[in-house]
Amino acid sequence: MPSLFPAARIRLASRTGRATPCDVGRRDSGPGDLPVFSEQVLKWRKGAGLDAAERNRIDSSVVEVRTFGAREVIVRAGQTLDVSLLLIHGLMSRHVDDRDGVRQMVSVHVPGDFVDLHAFPLKTLDHDVGTLTSVCAAIVPHRALAQIVEDAPELARKLWYATLLDAAMHRKWVYRLGRLSAHQRLAHFFCETNLRMAAVNLSDKRRFVLPLTQADLGEICGLTAIHVNRVIRDLREWSLVTFRASVVEIHDLPGLTELGAFEPAYLYFEDDFLRGFDKTTTADGHAAAPDDS
Amino acid sequence: MPSLFPAARIRLASRTGRATPCDVGRRDSGPGDLPVFSEQVLKWRKGAGLDAAERNRIDSSVVEVRTFGAREVIVRAGQTLDVSLLLIHGLMSRHVDDRDGVRQMVSVHVPGDFVDLHAFPLKTLDHDVGTLTSVCAAIVPHRALAQIVEDAPELARKLWYATLLDAAMHRKWVYRLGRLSAHQRLAHFFCETNLRMAAVNLSDKRRFVLPLTQADLGEICGLTAIHVNRVIRDLREWSLVTFRASVVEIHDLPGLTELGAFEPAYLYFEDDFLRGFDKTTTADGHAAAPDDS
DNA sequence: CGGATTGTTGATAAAGTTCAAACACGGTGG
DNA sequence: CCACCGTGTTTGAACTTTATCAACAATCCG
């Protein structure tokens, strides 16, 4: 299994396990050899790429790098926050919690996402934030963000943009839940996640590690775990995609895209990046999968 | 029928009718007697109230006031935008459009909402924006917003906040579609809308004009119009709420709130404002409904 | 090896959709 | 004034999708 999720960078901790400290990349050149956190931030996003100065500004805003175990709740709804998390390794989620323990996930975050940047303008969140895997995240104090807003308006606009990217994804999730069938919802989610993972080199465009249970997929797609199970079986039997042992393997990307009515415009990826995902990659043909780290 | 939707301010045009020009309020005092557009913006929102200078800044950013007929599409997905709309009178909506003409509404906008402020950082939208009623809106060019970001960081933060309020509502809509039954979805939507309308004096906390068809409610709640019809009948028979002739009348707010599992924290309203909506107002009791216009 | 979590299957029930048809209502034009 | 038309609402019946309940198998982890 090639470097989809290099063990050296993140190890999937057991439910109760302790997160492994994560080794943060370093830039060889640069002022003072600052650790690099911003590498994946807004990567490939149309009209929001960060220049060297902006990355530096973000990197130097980080006051701490923290690790968390898998399946921890990091932020509870209502809590007042004065820092935000920039996800470096692992997966996180945000969910709306019902009193009866019924949860609905509202987003899944991949490395490079500013998970709860929303908390900066809002001061308090309306939902919970948690880890899915063990996680390594950079802590950015809101003071530093306020300073950025104060004297780097263009970077501020890009941070704003990052939060609106989340909003755009939320909208598509509303659409997914409101208009698509169970099969389509799963297909759509796999397509979306494939793209987002690929953007940060965690998918080779057909295959990626997705450490979720079928129950998690149910919380994402508004379905019961049991129904998810049957739907996944169908998708497998239809030779569209398999999901087994936390690995998603897309056998027929055009077919999956078609079924899920997936149109990636809402992710605001640059056309260059999207070009690798069109009708070229069919069936198991191991089609061209370039520029993968 | 008391001043829920004063005819002098907005007249519900027929499907094909022409929008009536809207008379914009004027402030008696103030520099140069500027027309007031910002009056309802972020009204009652926790930690984001606008001071006089900030309102002025917004008012003076408006270059034009435009009216639109009912049921028009104002902005199409993908279109590059250099202005945003501040809704003054009427209702607007945003929706994700499927190729087969199947639509899913992702938000409904009331006066005071910066409908497509998202377009400022994003430059182009991922969804359509349209009118529900005939509408009067102030046009704010992105140049002016950029200037605000440049030299009024605190106001910029509040505009950012306004877009994140939308995101918070999106999340709740995801929850609504993913976790609630048809009856609960409608109940939740009516509760949400009641609050938002009340915040801008378009609901007296129990009753408001909502010029939507049952098909519209279906597009909002991810249901067929037929099912909406049956659900509405149930809600009426259960003495929770009636929806007839575009008027929503809530007979049992606590009951409706309970059924819809409605918790308004995600709307970020000030506690003072929310206080009028708790368990006090029961049944048809015409309970205390103060400070209404 | 043993216990807990996760995945799988079947039977049954509930919720929501689809299709078809009728009804109400406000225009519009004769 | 009335007939007519279109939009929106209401009802019924058959059907599909998804949930629920109840086991049981497989897997993972300690």
Tokens of A2: 């090639």
What integer pLDDT is reported at residue A16 of this predicted model?
33
The mean pLDDT value of chain A amounts to 86
Contacts of B171 in chain A (CB under 8 A): 94, 96, 106, 126-127, 170
Query: Which residue has 């006051």 as its token pair?
Result: A63
The secondary structure element, H or E, covering residue B109 is strand B103-109
C-alpha triplet A24, A272, A206: angle, nearest 5°: 70
- Amino acid at site B138: A
Whether A282 has a pLDDT exceeding 60, the answer reads no
Helix (H) or strand (E) holding A75: strand A73-75
Contacts of B26 (CB under 8 A, 6+ apart): B33, B34, B35, B36
At B171 the pLDDT is 98
The residues, any chain, with a CB within 8 Å of residue B53's CB and separated by 6 or more, are none
User: What integer pLDDT is reported at residue A99 of this predicted model?
Assistant: 73
Chain centroid to Cα A4, Å, comes to 15
Tens-digit pLDDT profile for residues A26-52: 444 445 566 789 999 999 999 999 999
Q: Is A47 helix (H, G, I), strand (E, B) or coil?
A: coil
- Of the pLDDT bands very low, low, confident and very high (cuts 50, 70, 90), residue A277 is confident
| Phi/psi-derived region of residue B198, left when phi > 0, alpha when psi is between -120 and 50, beta in every other case | alpha
SS percent in chain B: helix, strand, coil, step 5: 40, 20, 40
> At B28, is the pLDDT very low, low, confident or very high (cuts 50, 70, 90)?
very low
Please report, as a single letter, which amino acid is at residue A151. Answer: D
The reported pLDDT for the residue numbered B286 is 44
pLDDT at site B276 = 82
Closest-CA distance, A2 to chain B, in angstroms, reads 35
To the nearest whole Å, the CA of A216 is away from the closest chain B CA by: 13
Give the E-state strand segments of B142-240 in sequence order.
207-209
Give yes or no for residue B284 having a pLDDT over 80. no
> What pLDDT shows up at residue A29?
43
Nearest to B165 by CA among B39, B50, B267: B267
Mean pLDDT of chain B: 86
| pTM for the model | 0.88
Q: pLDDT band at residue B34, thresholds of 50, 70 and 90?
A: low
Q: How far is the CA of A15 from the C1' of C1 (A)?
A: 21
Residues B270-290: what's their mean pLDDT?
Answer: 65
Give contacts of A174 with chain B, Cβ < 8 Å.
96, 104, 106, 170, 173-174, 177
Say how far apart CA B90 and CA B131 lie, in whole Å.
Answer: 8
Local confidence band at B98 (pLDDT 50, 70, 90 cut-offs): confident
**Which uninterrupted H or E stretch holds B104?**
strand B103-109
